[in-house]
Amino acid sequence: MELIKRNIHMDYIKCKAQAQMTLEDDVIISDSRPDASRLIMDRGSVAVDEVKVTEDHVNVKGRLIFHVLYLAEKAGGASGKSDVADMEGFLPFEESVFMEGIRGGDGVNVTWELEDLTIGLINSRKLSVQSVAALYLVCEEIHDEETAVDLYSEEPVEFRKKTLDIAAMAIKKKDIFRVKEEVEIPGSFPNISSMIWSEIVPEAVEFKVLEDKIGVQGELRAFFLYRGEGEEEEICHYETALPFAGSLDCPGAQEGMIPEIRFTAEDREVEIRPDFDGEERVITFEQSLDLDICIYEDEKVDILSDVYGVVKEVSVMEKNAEFRKLIARSSGKTKLGGHFSCEDDKAILHKILHTASNLQLTGQNAAEGGIELTGVVNMQIFYECSNEENKYGVIKGSLPFRYVLEAEGINESCLYPVQAFVDQATVAIIDNGEVDVKCVLYFRANVYRKWQEKIVEQIVVTEPDMEKMASLPGIAVYMVKEGDSLWDIGKRYYVPVSVIRQTNDLATDEVKAGDKILIVKNA
């Protein structure tokens, strides 16, 4: 008797951990930068440089990278007009995280979230940088779940199967998708002398599984602040949105597979080059999307679920295996709005130059009919005002939200990785120091039911218990009880199910409580 097995590719989380870091330090503004009089905008990110795994511990080394745009006086205070400058710096960190069950050689994926970044001005040459960052560590393994799907036997034996509807792991890898674009500033803008600040944000990024490829499309929203050519070196800004589309090679991918792809977009290169007339008017940039790719395939697998002997004793040894199944694909949008006030009560707002937004999910819980999401959208609104001495400033504010993403059939045992984005953000000046903010939030999630299934691991065949076999009647009438099946009856009397059906002229295996079933041994 031989079990016929096949491998089903599954992924599971071996162990995971979370650590929160508080980083703070005073940072000197470099000598190549002018004195600072007021901070305008800031942004930050975490770079993980080294991950070292030892028994039950993971050591993570990296840097908090921060960028600051600030207001500075021109050299010598010429004309009393405001100037802007930027500065980049970093704070190194090393964090040891306890992960029970981790061993040297295990792979650990480290992601991060910047929960808070506060940068203050101590004096004209020194900044105070404080941040709270969360590190998420996951040791995820792919293994082949060896599953019995059939049975070969030269002697009489009864076996049955059941069909599993599962999402099997088809592809898991990391890759980089690069977007190269160039924009030429409009003719009404002066030539570019130097770039001060650039911000490039991918929006509405979608992934689609194609034949041996992954299709990628989305939009890059780009903002550039530069110093124009000329004696006045006018401060100019230019903002644009550029759609992009392309694909990545992904051998083994097939249409209809389920993408579970996340990306980060921290690395970018921005350069200024001349146009056809030799004037510095073209901005070229390359934005890298670092992809963490998981692709699942819906499969129906017939597995061996039970076996019993007819002439010999057959014992089944089972083990628990973990599977998952896609039960819902969900996406939704919600609108969010509010009013923010300028801290500088003397500022007379003239124009909104740029709005930077950051969405943080603070809660994800399975609720009736969906996923309850809570979080906050943090905004920095870069403005220009009519005061030449303090021409630029920023309004900062936060908009909390609660939203239920519809997902039928969800419960606490499900997996539902949620992706959330700020899809649109608009700001309008409604008073001298007040703005009206509106944005659209977009959410999407695949919902998987996770469960453990007993699968046949081994079959043991022994000689029958002759005393037990002798005690069984050659002919019997069995009264079906609630919950009984023909399989249960056949297993009890060592009679094939097909024989019971034939003896009782049954067209199917269905029986109900109270039915009388004739059992004829060795019929």
User: What's the whole-number mean pLDDT along residues 495-506?
Assistant: 92
Paired residues of 214 in beta bridges: 209, 248
- What pLDDT digit, counting tens, does each position of 380-417 carry? 999 998 777 778 899 999 999 999 999 988 988 899 99
| Model pLDDT, residue 429 | 92
- What pLDDT digit, counting tens, does each position of 333-365 carry? 999 999 999 887 777 888 999 999 999 999 999
| Three-state DSSP class for residue 469 | helix
User: What's the whole-number mean pLDDT along residues 428-451?
Assistant: 92
pTM score of the predicted model: 0.85
Q: Is the dihedral angle over the CA atoms 25, 28, 33, 34 positive or is it negative? A: positive
pLDDT mean across residues, the chain:
91
Tokens found for residue 370: 């969906």
| Model pLDDT, residue 523 | 47
Q: Do 489 and 506 touch, CB atoms closer than 8 A?
A: no
Band the pLDDT of 313: cuts 50, 70, 90.
confident
Q: How far is residue 409's CA from residue 449's CA, in Å, rounded to a whole number? A: 9
Q: Which residue in 309, 203, 303, 213 sits closest to 263, CA to CA?
A: 203
Q: How far is residue 266's CA from residue 62's CA, in Å, rounded to a whole number? A: 14
Least confident of 8-17, 61-70, 340-349, 411-420: 340-349
- Strand intervals (E) in 252-341: 258-264, 268-274, 280-309, 313-341
Band the pLDDT of 79: cuts 50, 70, 90.
low
Report the alpha-carbon angle 18-23-28, nearest 5: 155
Residue 89 has pLDDT above 90, yes or no: yes
Residue 80 has pLDDT above 80, yes or no: no
- What pLDDT digit, counting tens, does each position of 120-176 carry? 999 999 999 999 999 999 998 888 888 988 888 778 888 899 999 999 999 999 999
Q: Do 314 and 465 touch, CB atoms closer than 8 A?
A: no
Residue 296 has pLDDT above 60, yes or no: yes
